[in-house]
Structure 1
Amino acid sequence: MINEEFIQYIWKHKLFKLDNLLTVCGKTIELINPGELNTNAGADFFNAKVKVDNTLWAGNVEIHIKSSDWLVHNHQTDKAYNNVILHVVTQFDQDAISQKGEVIPCLVIKYSEDLYDEYLSLTSSVHDIACVSHLHQINSFEISLWVQRMLVERLEHKVNSIEHLLNNTTNNWDEVFYRLLFRSFGLGVNGTAFELLAQSIPLSVLLKYSNDIDLLEALLFGQAGMLSEPAGDNYYARLQTDYQFLKQKHGLKPIDSFLWKFLRLRPSNFPTIRLSQLANLMHKLKGVFGNLTEEQEIRNIEKLLNVDASVYWDKHYTFSKESKDTQKRLGKTSISNIIINTIIPYIFTFGKKNGNVSYEQKALKWLSEMKPERNSIINQWKCNEIPVKSAGDSQALIYLFNNYCKLKKCLHCRIGHQVLAIK
């Protein structure tokens, strides 16, 4: 069944018969400007301009399937709709009356059935990328423009998220970076647990022990709720002893151990390994987060993030259970993910909030220099010959896939618009 979103779309893009437009009362209509789509409360389009007979009207436009929907939605009692100059519908069955008692001019629009069929084909497609069979028909320049727009939208989304953290930490940039860095070590699966861990340890306490790797590990493993079992080997026993001292001294309360997920993770990504690597990174940085944000060359960031887990973990993935001797170094893929998803958005937001364009430019430059991410989503785009040359491209295409394609928001996508324009 036809929906209002589709009617809004064809009104916005004038995809209906424009010749000899008449209201249901026989008055001529000339569309000057369809207006701007309103995503908030009120009429569907504002700042529209239409000429009714020889009179130019400026105001709002309301879209419905049936004209009687005006009453169904109780617009006749709402002052917010008194400025509606035109009621656009596909079926007329009743006049729309404003709260002031005035009849709203009504226009019944006619659209192409082929266009509607294509719209249904896109929104009901079983493919993750609904327009997959049409991508080869779309101008590569149009696709490139939309990918660039998606990167901007992705960064804006990250900015909003970081601004929220700033509001919750009284604009403490170090605290925000600390929490973002912790979350990034969770690799998605354990991201929430790492974030809760960061919140459970005051940054001042963590920095106080940044020169002592043993105490740092005790602090992190203890606050992670991983030191509550009976004493195991010497390493575990030492961590327990050190943590009990730190816990009492600073009045700490650990998070629940059940928050950590090990199932279906590669052993090298176990939270135990990540916690030790994180402790070594904090020890390496000594709390000077500016070492990461002030760098100009991406390769220097990669060197700073190149850390190992402690020697104990060379022969372990979990406490007290020995494994094959393997150095547990933070991998290149993990380093890239931390830079792309944490450090770059942080730097971009810092520049935006402080009016320093150089930080924003550096963030964008790094995205253009870094290799694209490799995952199932990117593989789908590549299989359809969409170029993915940099991390900026992969970030944009992942965002497009998750926020448009999966939700079948084809009417809001430039590529989807191009597909429909073919009709």
Structure 2
Amino acid sequence: MKENLLHFVWKLQLFSPMKLQSTKGEFIQVVASGIENKNTGPDFLNAKIVIGKQLWAGNVEIHINSSDWYAHTHEVDSNYDSVILHVVWEHNVDIYRKSNQKIATLELKNYISKHLLDNYKLLFNRPKKWINCEHNIEVINSFILTHWFERLFFERLEQKSDDIQQLLTSNNNDWEATLFILLAKNFGLKINADAFKNFATSFNFSVVRKVSTNLNQLEALFFGQAGLLANNFESAYFKRLKEEYEYLKIKYKLTSISKEQVQFFRLRPNNFPTVRLSQLASLYFKHKNLFSKIIEVNTVEDFYDLLATATLPFWETHYTFEKESKKSIKKLSKSFIDLVLINTIVPVKFMYLKNIGKSNFSSVISIIDQIKPEKNKITSNFNNLKIKSSNAFETQALLQLKNEYCNHQLCLQCEIGKEVLKI
């Protein structure tokens, strides 16, 4: 028996409510099971329970064995003075408050169905599973899945909002500066995300505002701050960038990150940091007030137009400063813009709406609904379990489900896990 199961059973009252009796034979009626307490102190607060003929209002503590009360030294902790009922799997000793007053105990083992216990064992004890409910998830009612996915999606957005708020605070509530850092991190993709974020925070965004009318200076600023102008190459383009950067470096008292932070290894050429930095520079040359524009736009097609940008001509025949390559126009693809929308634009719009006191996020959902489902190992495995995604809203929910619930075996906090126990 696990204590988390007892919490789950008590919270949802998944036991026979008829003829409940304390270990001393007193009649028990649960009027209100209480509010689950995630902090220190009793497990459920503000419960209302009839014990005998008396209505009690107070808290409920849950343990596997009654003796755990003493093992956890609750008898000397004033936080537990207001406990009105001790709920246990097995009663093996009477317990008392500090005042030496006996606390009523409810032993649950005779009130929980064998069917629920069997389902619990199957959910947690079956070996070699990708997720605990993989043999049951496909039969879960679609209505339950839909509403759970919506909660998961917004839970994921809330987590991202915490990071955005920290950046926003550090940038004195400058949304444009905050957006720039988030976009830079996104342009770095997984391998260079941290390096690109470090590059974007290595100087004040006011410098971008000052040089954004000059694309050569903007590129020089980005390449230089990313440490990619530290070497010497023969091309006239490189030399011009380096000369521009040396001027900017002195004028704005800049210090770049080390070139070792930026990685080329294990990247496809189109994702090389040189290409992505050139595209980012072109984007900020094209749009001087990008944040204001993303707040106004609410369709994916309009975002494709807004974010459509390419590199300077030099990069059409290069992936690095050294070697020439076959000519190709290196513009932002729709699939890359989808990633930017999912990981940066949608969270930023959500956070902005929250900050100005809006509670209607239909515009945010509308955008994510229009984006094609993400393809990765997690979404593929859910697809194999017949949980298919039709858009990025659903794939984001599935990523949250797997990473925050399945991986930590929080099935009893998951709506799917709860339903599995009831099957």
TM-score (norm 2): 0.94
Tell me if structure 1 keeps the 8 A contact 2:264–2:273.
Answer: yes
Counterpart position of 2:145 = 143
Paired residues for 1:218-367 under 5 Å = 218-357=220-359, 360-367=361-368
Give secondary structure in 2 for the equivalent of 1:89. Answer: strand
Q: What per-residue deviation string (whole Å, max 9, x for no partner) do you get for residues 257-293 of structure 1? A: 2222322221211212111111111111124421222
Counterpart position of 1:376 = 377
Please point out which of 215, 218, 224 is paired with 2:217: 215
Tell me if structure 2 keeps the 8 A contact 1:17–1:109.
Answer: no
**Cα distance between partner residues in 1 of 2:264 and 2:121:** 42
What's the CA shift for 1:379? 1.9
Counterpart position of 2:88 = 89
**Cα distance between partner residues in 2 of 1:270 and 1:301:** 23
1:127 aligns with 2:126: no
Query: Sequence identity, in percent?
Result: 40
Counterpart position of 2:72 = 73
Q: What per-residue deviation string (whole Å, max 9, x for no partner) do you get for residues 397-422 of structure 1? A: 22112111222211111111111101
Counterpart position of 1:98 = 97
Tell me if structure 1 keeps the 8 A contact 2:65–2:91.
Answer: yes
Give secondary structure in 2 for the equivalent of 1:321. Answer: coil
Counterpart position of 1:61 = 60
Q: Measured at CA, do residues 265 and 113 of structure 1 come closer, stay the same or move farther in structure 2, by a change above 3 Å?
A: farther
Q: What per-residue deviation string (whole Å, max 9, x for no partner) do you get for residues 353-387 of structure 1? A: 102356x3221211222222222222222233324
Tell me if structure 2 keeps the 8 A contact 1:37–1:46.
Answer: yes
Code of the aligned partner of 2:123: L
Counterpart position of 1:201 = 203
**Cα distance between partner residues in 2 of 1:37 and 1:119:** 21
What's the CA shift for 1:300? 1.8
Counterpart position of 2:49 = 50
Paired residues for 1:115-194 under 5 Å = 115-124=116-125, 125-194=127-196
Code of the aligned partner of 2:404: N
Give secondary structure in 2 for the equivalent of 1:64. Answer: strand
**Cα distance between partner residues in 2 of 1:383 and 1:64:** 39
Tell me if structure 1 keeps the 8 A contact 2:164–2:351.
Answer: yes
1:411 aligns with 2:419: no
Q: Which moved more, 1:338-347 or 1:324-333?
A: 324-333
**Cα distance between partner residues in 2 of 1:403 and 1:296:** 29
Q: Measured at CA, do residues 13 and 357 of structure 1 come closer, stay the same or move farther in structure 2, by a change above 3 Å?
A: closer
Give secondary structure in 1 for the equivalent of 2:85. Answer: strand
Q: Which moved more, 1:18-27 or 1:210-219?
A: 18-27
**Cα distance between partner residues in 2 of 1:356 and 1:63:** 40
Q: What per-residue deviation string (whole Å, max 9, x for no partner) do you get for residues 291-332 of structure 1? A: 222124331211121111222222222221222222222121
What's the CA shift for 1:85? 0.8
Tell me if structure 2 keeps the 8 A contact 1:207–1:287.
Answer: no
Counterpart position of 2:8 = 9
Q: Report how many aligned residue pairs link the two structures.
A: 420
Q: Measured at CA, do residues 406 and 25 of structure 1 come closer, stay the same or move farther in structure 2, by a change above 3 Å?
A: same
Paired residues for 1:101-116 under 5 Å = 101-110=100-109, 111-116=112-117
Superposed CA RMSD? 1.8
Tell me if structure 2 keeps the 8 A contact 1:210–1:287.
Answer: no
Q: Which moved more, 1:406-415 or 1:232-241?
A: 232-241
**Cα distance between partner residues in 2 of 1:264 and 1:68:** 56
What's the CA shift for 1:113? 4.6
Code of the aligned partner of 2:260: F
Give secondary structure in 1 for the equivalent of 2:408. Answer: coil
Q: Measured at CA, do residues 149 and 197 of structure 1 come closer, stay the same or move farther in structure 2, by a change above 3 Å?
A: same
Counterpart position of 1:400 = 401
Q: Measured at CA, do residues 155 and 68 of structure 1 come closer, stay the same or move farther in structure 2, by a change above 3 Å?
A: same
Code of the aligned partner of 2:107: V
Q: What per-residue deviation string (whole Å, max 9, x for no partner) do you get for residues 221-265 of structure 1? A: 111111112344222222221111111111111112222232222
Give secondary structure in 1 for the equivalent of 2:389. Answer: coil
Give secondary structure in 2 for the equivalent of 1:351. Answer: helix
What's the CA shift for 1:337? 0.9
Tell me if structure 2 keeps the 8 A contact 1:86–1:104.
Answer: yes
Tell me if structure 2 keeps the 8 A contact 1:281–1:307.
Answer: yes
Q: Which moved more, 1:51-60 or 1:236-245?
A: 236-245
Structure 2, unmatched stretches of 5+, are: none
What's the CA shift for 1:352? 1.5
Tell me if structure 2 keeps the 8 A contact 1:372–1:394.
Answer: yes
Tell me if structure 2 keeps the 8 A contact 1:225–1:257.
Answer: yes
**Cα distance between partner residues in 2 of 1:188 and 1:78:** 48
Q: Measured at CA, do residues 342 and 98 of structure 1 come closer, stay the same or move farther in structure 2, by a change above 3 Å?
A: same
Q: Measured at CA, do residues 310 and 100 of structure 1 come closer, stay the same or move farther in structure 2, by a change above 3 Å?
A: farther
What's the CA shift for 1:114? 4.6
What's the CA shift for 1:117? 4.2
